[in-house]
């Protein structure tokens, strides 16, 4: 098993890509610390892992709360050690021209998508550096590498996630710590449904979106989770500072 006897902390694990990633990590032998601001969703993920015979704990976590983030990670590292930090939690915003984006909306997206990932890296790195090993996987987006019209705040934050990942990789590599990002295309999650609902005719918007993908379909959460799992595992032992685009060929 690829993560046997390893401890993984994952944010935003109450649903979607985060939940699928948590389940796959557990299947590969990891002890999974499930975190989310959504207590009900996070506890359900933890229960699903336990029901399948895996080992999981849930910790309520708002990723924008730096003190709480450090407390959770410090406790995990003290109790079990810390092998993998997966910064998955993120959010979107209603579409519209940049000049029409409300500043409060912009700041909310920045706080979760950038500061939340920053807090996760900041909390994990001291432990990983001290032990001389560890893997950080940050979840970016297709918007990390391409501009998305009417999604200025989201695209800005996801581009920042990718360059933050590269910077962490450059800084922490000498300590034996790897940092990579996964950059998914549109994936069948609640975030996608919310985006489509803003388009007036969600069904037509979905059909048009699918036509833009060479594989003629959108991604599934499990497919993104598999990419995260690869980067978290020793199979990617010589991969760091990389943004792995998983987008069904859209960017091609």
Q: Helices (DSSP H) in the chain: which residue ranges?
A: 16-27, 39-51, 66-80, 103-110, 116-131, 152-172, 190-197, 202-211, 221-232
Same domain, 87 and 11: yes
Same domain, 43 and 128: yes
Q: With beta carbons less than 8 A apart as the criterion, state whether 83 and 134 touch.
A: yes
If pLDDT is split at 50, 70 and 90, which confidence band does 186 have?
confident
pLDDT tens digits, 56-74: 999 999 999 999 999 999 9
Residue 25 lies in a domain: yes
Provide the CA 38 distance to its chain's centre, in angstroms: 15
Average pLDDT of the residues in 201-224: 90
Q: What is the pTM of this model?
A: 0.95
Looking at the structure of the chain, the number of domains it has is 2
Is residue 167 scored above 90 in pLDDT? yes
Q: What percent of the chain has pLDDT over 70?
A: 100
Range of the domain at 201: 187-218
Same domain, 196 and 78: no
Q: What is the mean pLDDT of the chain?
A: 95
Is residue 200 scored above 90 in pLDDT? no
- Residue given tokens 């036509």 in the structure block: 211
67: phi then psi, degrees, rounded to nearest 5: -60, -45
The catalytically annotated residue of 154, 195, 213, 250 is: 154
**Structure tokens of 9?**
């902390």
Same domain, 145 and 194: no
Residue 252 lies in a domain: no
Is residue 195 scored above 80 in pLDDT? no
If pLDDT is split at 50, 70 and 90, which confidence band does 203 have?
confident
Same domain, 98 and 122: yes
Same domain, 111 and 207: no
Same domain, 44 and 148: yes
Based on the residue annotation, tell me whether 154 is a catalytic residue of this protein.
yes
Residue 1 lies in a domain: no
Same domain, 214 and 224: no
Same domain, 111 and 205: no
pLDDT tens digits, 121-133: 999 999 999 999 9
- Residue given tokens 């207590």 in the structure block: 39
Residue 87 lies in a domain: yes
Is residue 45 scored above 90 in pLDDT? yes
Same domain, 162 and 150: yes
pLDDT tens digits, 90-108: 998 888 899 999 999 999 9
Residue 19 lies in a domain: yes
Contacts of 57 (CB under 8 A, 6+ apart): 31, 32, 33, 34, 46
């Amino acid at each position: 098993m690829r993560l046997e006897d390893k401890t993984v902390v994952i944010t935003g694990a109450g649903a979607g890509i985060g939940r699928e990633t948590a389940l796959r990590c557990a299947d590969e032998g990891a002890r999974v610390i499930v975190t989310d601001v959504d207590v009900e969703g996070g506890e359900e993920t933890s229960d699903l892992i336990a029901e399948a015979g895996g080992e999981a704990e849930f910790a309520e976590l708002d990723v924008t709360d730096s003190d709480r983030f450090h407390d959770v990670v410090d406790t995990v590292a003290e109790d079990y050690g810390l092998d993998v930090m997966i910064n998955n939690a993120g959010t979107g915003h209603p579409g519209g021209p940049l000049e029409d984006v409300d500043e409060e909306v912009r700041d909310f997206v920045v706080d979760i998508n950038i500061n939340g990932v920053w807090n996760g890296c900041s909390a994990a790195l001291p432990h990983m550096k001290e032990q001389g090993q560890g893997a950080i996987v940050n979840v970016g987006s297709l918007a990390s590498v391409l501009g998305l019209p009417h999604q200025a705040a989201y695209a800005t934050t996801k581009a920042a996630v990718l360059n933050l990942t590269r910077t962490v990789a450059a800084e922490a590599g000498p300590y034996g710590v790897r940092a990579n990002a996964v950059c998914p295309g549109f994936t069948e999650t609640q975030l996608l449904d919310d985006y489509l609902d803003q388009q007036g005719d969600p069904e037509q918007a979905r059909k048009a979106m699918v036509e833009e993908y060479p594989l003629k379909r959108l991604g599934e959460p499990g497919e993104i989770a598999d990419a995260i799992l690869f980067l978290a595992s020793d199979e990617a032992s010589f991969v760091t500072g990389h943004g792995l685009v998983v987008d069904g060929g859209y960017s091609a």
